[in-house]
């Protein structure tokens, strides 16, 4: 299944990325390109909505970990929400759940995003 990607701004430096399909095979390149485009723009933090992702391969995991590192290098972060059980299990098997920000629901994600944005404001105030 082709990977469908929709992006929308959530805050001035936070982009939401809604994914549907599988991340692997050749589709991981689509996500890699979109993440690269977003992180070269004004966005520092990405929120991947994984509700529509039914499968992820090692290539997909590689892209997600690369995106997290790129966001961190820019002073932001990467978070995932609505991760399907079978996909979450892959991240658990690879011991990546603690390394990635995985949220159960929107309220938990919103609390996290508020902290991220406050940290950015605080860093700007210190400059």
Q: Which of 12-16, 73-77, 89-93, 101-105 has the lowest mean pLDDT?
A: 101-105
Query: How far is 96 from 112, CA to CA, in rounded Å?
Result: 18
- Tokens standing for 97? 């759940």
Could you tell me the residue range of the domain that residue 80 belongs to?
4-126
What pairs with residue 11 in β-bridges? 14
Query: How far is 38 from 29, CA to CA, in rounded Å?
Result: 14
Residues for the chain: how many in total?
127
For the stretch 19-43, pLDDT in tens is: 999 998 889 999 999 999 999 999 9
Residue bearing tokens 């990977």: 3
- Is pTM beyond 0.85 here? no
How many domains in the chain? 1
CATH no. for residue 41? 3.30.750.24
The pLDDT, as a whole number, for residue 110 is 63
């Amino acid at each position: 299944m082709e990977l469908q990607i929709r992006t929308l701004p959530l805050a001035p430096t936070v982009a939401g990325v809604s994914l549907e399909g599988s991340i692997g095979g050749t589709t991981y390149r689509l996500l890699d390109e979109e993440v690269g485009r977003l992180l070269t723009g004004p966005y520092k933090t990405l929120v991947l909505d994984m509700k529509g992702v039914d499968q992820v391969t090692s290539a997909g995991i590689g892209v997600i970990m690369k995106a997290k590192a790129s966001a961190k290098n820019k002073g932001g972060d990467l978070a995932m929400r609505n991760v399907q059980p079978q996909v979450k299990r892959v991240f658990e098997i690879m011991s990546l759940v603690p390394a990635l920000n995985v949220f159960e629901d929107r309220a938990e994600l919103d609390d996290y995003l508020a902290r991220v944005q406050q940290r950015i404001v605080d860093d700007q105030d210190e400059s």
